[in-house]
């Protein structure tokens, strides 16, 4: 799961990273989509489930989340934990490592599905 913004995925906001794009098979879920815009708290459990399941992220799946350095991905993972997902991992190397990895497979820079 990719917790970066569309601009980051496109390569616009990536200090010291050589390319845009995303990890093949990743699904975009930017953490701010999970928050009530007024209260700045998590949306309801039903709304969170709808966000993830509508993108094909199911409780039976192992979810590995990443962003630029691993911090925003933890918000996605915490939200998933709150709604009962238990196969969760944070890729701490994140895009900082993957995006600069020689030979690491990259798709992009745009996802084929819309974010949000």
Which residue out of 9, 51, 57, 67 is catalytically annotated? 67
From first CA to last CA, the distance across the chain in angstroms is 14
Residue 67 known to be catalytic:
yes
What is the C-alpha separation between 113 and 42, in angstroms, rounded?
23
Residue 24's alpha-carbon distances to 32, 44, 76, 82, 101, in angstroms, are 22, 30, 19, 26, 14
What residues are annotated to the active site?
67
């Amino acid at each position: 799961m990719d917790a970066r913004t569309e601009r980051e995925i496109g390569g616009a906001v990536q200090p010291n990273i050589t390319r845009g794009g995303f990890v093949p098979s990743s699904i975009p879920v930017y953490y701010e989509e999970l928050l009530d815009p007024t209260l700045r708290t998590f949306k309801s459990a039903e709304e969170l489930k709808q966000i993830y399941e509508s993108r094909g992220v199911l409780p039976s799946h192992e979810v590995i989340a990443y962003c630029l350095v691993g911090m925003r991905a933890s918000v996605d993972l915490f939200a998933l934990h709150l709604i009962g997902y238990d196969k969760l991992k944070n890729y701490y190397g994140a895009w900082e490592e993957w995006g600069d990895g020689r030979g690491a497979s990259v798709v992009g820079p745009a996802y084929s599905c819309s974010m949000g």
